[in-house]
Structure 1
Amino acid sequence: MFFRAGLAAGLVSTASAAAITITQLSDGQIQAAAVTATPGSASASASAAGQYSPLPYSYPQSPSVNSAAVSSVVSVAGIPASEIPGATNAIPPVISSQVTGVTSHGPFSGTPTTTGAVSNSPLATAIPMLPPNPTALVYNPNGTLNDPQPIPYQPAGGLGTNGTEPVYRVQSDFDYESVLLGLYQEWIELDLFHYILATFSEEEFTAAGLTPSDRFLIEFMADQESGHATLLSNLLGGPGGATPQCTYNYPFTTVHEAFDFTQKLTRFGESGVWGFQSHLDSREVAQLLDQSIATEARQQMIFRQFSGLFPMPVWFETGIPQSWAWTLLAPYISSCPADSKRLAWQNFPALNVLNQPNSARRNATQTGFNETTGFGPAAPSSDVPVNESCVANNVTGFDCSASISQNRSIPLSFPGREVFLSWENPGKAVGPNNSYVTDTKAGAPAWVLWVSQLNITYSPLTNISVQGGLNYGQTIQPDVSTYEGDPAINGTMFIALTDVNLPYTAFNLSNVNPHVAAGPFLYQAG
């Protein structure tokens, strides 16, 4: 069977000047060839010269018909399967831990065999700040059509709109390393959702205000992650480019802590993709990532609701650079199999907010020092005594039980709040197998960078000191708005320490990386 662009069968196409057809062989391998064969034939003509040749898939890829599902459909519909469009179509399978190996949990205790991020010979130490591309200032948005339409009802312009056949595969090192990072994120989410269900009893869920239907929703979200992991693995080219699941280490001990951690982890998973998808060389890959991350955003909202937080307290969701997302994710990956693919992104020295607002408190302004549990930049708010807790506190404005929406009478944080910080020096082993090393190219930190919604802003870093090998300082939470009525600093957002206070926008935020001295950290602003 032949598949154009390969998407329906979970395959990837190769690019060439001529159109390319994809053949799926009987053993699950795929072969690219010039379009000279008749569609529907069993093999292609000849391999396209000079084209990328994918390795055989190590997991099932051959589409098949689920006869049990077809029988169920027929029993409900009351008509033969032959009369139901698509009922007997073969469906490509998803990747799961059953075919990649069951994951485990806990910290890493071995010795790394490889150290550091993937690298070759960087051409420079920073990306220069240049003026706008002159072509970006030419178009006149005057309400009329300024150029001839290619066809009726379609205005001139747009990328990928000239009729070229889509090619669903990464097209550059930037694409590959970005999507590979996304796959690491999808794998941990798939494991985390299952782990929560396996770790806590139905009675513990009930005590947190959740029903069996809520537990099923978590299971369904895990199924979504299987689909996301399958998609990204295929975009990376299967076993030649994809990476398997790893061993993970989580910092929570209660249901409420688990949900607070998960809403933070899904926050940086979503924001990490928003940060890079518009920069991908492959617009086709960006399109599919948009469609998966739209679901991821809904998952983050659900876990905020399970945590008793307002589901979406911001008008815009922010994007962060890949190195920020990798720094946030790496502490929760203990080890990975030997055939795992290594990432090129930076691991910054860890940053910590010592008085992180505690979302489990009725009055978060009473948060003291170190009211998080576990470890890492997404450490959840720790549970507090019952008489101080908002969990199962049936008082409007002071309840954080699971709910569609909970409005807090006292906000978690506020402009003018003193924020106390600590941060590590570079050179610490982190991530899978302790095989990555934190690093910074920045000078001494002098500013706190706040990244939320469409904005970045800075606040001075003051009272800097060093004690016991850790660095300490403090700052004041700024008072800024995206637009009138929308406080920019809200929700679960991001802070980092920098050596300068240069301006950046949502589209070029990654240019700040050479100036990041520590961070990022997920600040629980609301």
Structure 2
Amino acid sequence: MRAFRLTAGAVLLFFATSSTSVPVVSDPTTTLFSAEATAPPQVPHTDVTSHGPYDGPPPTTTGALSADVLAPSIPALPPGPDAYSYPSDGQLHGAKPAPYTPSGGLGTNGSAPVYRMLSDFDYESIALALYQEWIELDLFHWGLATFSDQDFENAGLTTQDRYLIQFMAEQEVGHATLLRNMLGAQAPKQCTYNYPVSNVREYIDFCQKLTRIGESGVYGFMNHLNARDVGQLLLQSISTEARQQMIFRQFEGLFPMPVWFEIGTPQSWAWTLLAPYISSCPGNQTRLIWQNYPSVYILNQPNPTRVNSANVWNETTGGYTNTLSAADVKEDEDCLHNKEVSSNCAPAITNNRTIPLSYPGRQVFFQWDNPGQAIGPNNSYITDTAVKEPVFAAWVSQLNVTYTPLQDVQSNTAWAVQPDMSTYAGDPAVNGTMYLLLTDEDLYVTPFNLSMLNPHVYGVALYQAG
């Protein structure tokens, strides 16, 4: 067995090939010895020892990374000139570049991939993803160190479940190593963090929401990268993140995958939801260009710890992720040990609950902050929006963005009706851990151009629809 090392950009990849044919045998054999192949080192990382809100000196640099701004928004244009030229009739319309290979495709001309950034868009997007991997690495370790084994047992999570969380932290080491190597020496470093939780059930809820931010945030920009080879490696890491999000839903007693399609979000939505939980970062830390929108509080955010999750008022630990609060849930209202199978929410492969977390026609109540708040690492980013006053609630789920008008708008509060819509017949679009925005316009957008909505967004929140 020969090992070949390929250095492409800053990423080390290893491939093994056989120089001799393998004999055919009728009985299985056992390999008695195999020399261990050399592996690339992990990115340097430590267990963060400091957690909590930032209480240091005022930052010397504030605001997002910036350069000259060419226009207040990207103009809407018609489809490109070749958008409808391919006949899509199942026949071949070009010479094959190689046997069994159709013409077309990007990155298929034989050029060696180079796993490095090709544009500011690439760098800022992958740097955002690395901020996400760092916080997940810390969050998974922090929960295991903060809560006792008995705390986890009381939430229905066993030794095996705790090891799975530990293994997910080890996965994040790999993800951080991959992204850091592709970004180079100026890549973002580990920071200190602040989590809005005080018990295991709140912790699991925050984990499933944070992994939703990471998964959706990457889906939103991955196919827009100039460096498509970078996108390939990113895909292979974010596929693991998707599994993590599903696992945390199962730990929370939620149905593991209640949607047919997962949402992909613009980078500024992800940074808005991520930044509030980063307390401080090292000096000269790589700054990001992305916008921080004001916080939106969902005052009757469904609480999955309740038998009737929709019958709630102000049971979150704050805005942005709107993580559940388990503080005021009485024992007879708690679904964890409920005897009815259809009302029980103990950790499980799947739970199909009779009373849904939310439903079409539900009044959903909002309160929002004014822009201009210091937030994020070292309180050095400032929330901002071009919207004077929100007019619509935008329900961003699966393949749809549906708007419902805000009602009784006054003093930074309003409510809207949860819409009744389907992605396709039989698939309720408003479901799962989804995105709920406040906007000033009901702009028509689709999954590939959601960022066109950014200039019309007032604030971003996660809604626990199901």
Q: TM-score, with normalisation over the residues of structure 2?
A: 0.93
What do residues 271-293 of structure 1 show as CA deviations (whole Å, max 9, x unaligned)?
Answer: 00000000000000111111100
- Contact 2:301–2:310 under 8 Å retained in 1: no
What do residues 117-170 of structure 1 show as CA deviations (whole Å, max 9, x unaligned)?
Answer: 000111111000000001111001101111111111011110000001101011
- Contact 1:314–1:486 under 8 Å retained in 2: yes
What do residues 291-326 of structure 1 show as CA deviations (whole Å, max 9, x unaligned)?
Answer: 100000000000000001000000000011000000
Give the secondary-structure state (helix, strand or coil) at the position aligned to 2:342.
coil
Match of 1:525 in 2: 465
Match of 2:37 in 1: 89
Q: d(CA) in 2 for partners of 1:221 and 1:394?
A: 31
- Contact 2:291–2:384 under 8 Å retained in 1: yes
- Contact 1:489–1:525 under 8 Å retained in 2: yes
**Alpha carbons of structure 1 residues 151 and 183: separation in structure 2 relative to 1, 3 Å:** same
Q: Cα offset for 1:175?
A: 0.3
Match of 2:23 in 1: none
Q: Cα offset for 1:377?
A: 1.2
Match of 2:12 in 1: 9
Q: Cα offset for 1:78?
A: 6.5
Match of 1:107 in 2: 53
Match of 1:297 in 2: 242
- Contact 1:449–1:459 under 8 Å retained in 2: yes
Q: Cα offset for 1:209?
A: 1.2
Q: Cα offset for 1:339?
A: 2.8
Equivalent runs, 1:323-402 vs 2, <5 Å: 323-367=268-312, 369-373=313-317, 375-383=318-326, 384-402=329-347
Give the secondary-structure state (helix, strand or coil) at the position aligned to 2:83.
helix
Q: d(CA) in 1 for partners of 2:452 and 2:49?
A: 36
What do residues 192-221 of structure 1 show as CA deviations (whole Å, max 9, x unaligned)?
Answer: 000111111111111111111111111100
1:79 aligns with 2:32: yes
Match of 1:50 in 2: none
Q: d(CA) in 2 for partners of 1:135 and 1:114?
A: 45
- Contact 2:322–2:461 under 8 Å retained in 1: no
What do residues 61-116 of structure 1 show as CA deviations (whole Å, max 9, x unaligned)?
Answer: xxxxxxxxxxxxxxxx6723xxx2xx332111112423xx7452011012112100
Match of 1:440 in 2: 385
Q: TM-score, with normalisation over the residues of structure 1?
A: 0.83
Equivalent runs, 1:260-279 vs 2, <5 Å: 260-279=205-224
1:79 counterpart letter in structure 2: L
Equivalent runs, 1:79-478 vs 2, <5 Å: 79-80=32-33, 84=34, 87-98=35-46, 102-110=48-56, 111-237=58-184, 239=185, 241-367=186-312, 369-373=313-317, 375-383=318-326, 384-466=329-411, 471-478=412-419
- Contact 2:434–2:463 under 8 Å retained in 1: yes
- Contact 1:10–1:231 under 8 Å retained in 2: no
Equivalent runs, 1:501-516 vs 2, <5 Å: 501-516=442-457
Give the secondary-structure state (helix, strand or coil) at the position aligned to 2:356.
coil
2:169 counterpart letter in structure 1: A
- Contact 2:10–2:182 under 8 Å retained in 1: no
Q: d(CA) in 1 for partners of 2:458 and 2:187?
A: 31
- Contact 1:104–1:248 under 8 Å retained in 2: yes
- Contact 2:136–2:169 under 8 Å retained in 1: yes
Give the secondary-structure state (helix, strand or coil) at the position aligned to 1:9.
strand
Give the secondary-structure state (helix, strand or coil) at the position aligned to 2:310.
helix
Q: Cα offset for 1:10?
A: 6.6
2:345 counterpart letter in structure 1: C
Match of 2:18 in 1: none
Higher deviation after alignment, 174-183 or 394-403: 394-403
1:89 counterpart letter in structure 2: A
Equivalent runs, 1:486-501 vs 2, <5 Å: 486-501=427-442
2:88 counterpart letter in structure 1: P
1:514 counterpart letter in structure 2: P
Q: d(CA) in 2 for partners of 1:337 and 1:165?
A: 36
Give the secondary-structure state (helix, strand or coil) at the position aligned to 1:116.
coil
Give the secondary-structure state (helix, strand or coil) at the position aligned to 2:212.
helix
Q: d(CA) in 2 for partners of 1:107 and 1:209?
A: 30
**Alpha carbons of structure 1 residues 188 and 432: separation in structure 2 relative to 1, 3 Å:** same
CA RMSD of aligned residues (A): 1.6
2:112 counterpart letter in structure 1: E
- Contact 2:361–2:417 under 8 Å retained in 1: yes
- Contact 2:393–2:437 under 8 Å retained in 1: yes
Q: Cα offset for 1:3?
A: 3.5
Q: d(CA) in 1 for partners of 2:182 and 2:11?
A: 12
Give the secondary-structure state (helix, strand or coil) at the position aligned to 2:86.
coil
Q: Percent identity?
A: 59
Give the secondary-structure state (helix, strand or coil) at the position aligned to 1:487.
coil
What do residues 35-68 of structure 1 show as CA deviations (whole Å, max 9, x unaligned)?
Answer: xxxxxxxxxxxxxxxxxxxxxxxxxxxxxxxxxx
What do residues 207-254 of structure 1 show as CA deviations (whole Å, max 9, x unaligned)?
Answer: 1111111111111000000000000001101x2x21111110001111
Q: d(CA) in 1 for partners of 2:255 and 2:142?
A: 25
Higher deviation after alignment, 108-117 or 182-191: 108-117
- Contact 1:97–1:103 under 8 Å retained in 2: no
- Contact 2:391–2:438 under 8 Å retained in 1: yes
1:378 counterpart letter in structure 2: T
- Contact 2:7–2:13 under 8 Å retained in 1: no
Q: d(CA) in 2 for partners of 1:197 and 1:346?
A: 32
- Contact 2:259–2:398 under 8 Å retained in 1: yes
Q: Which runs of 5+ in 1 are unaligned?
A: 12-76
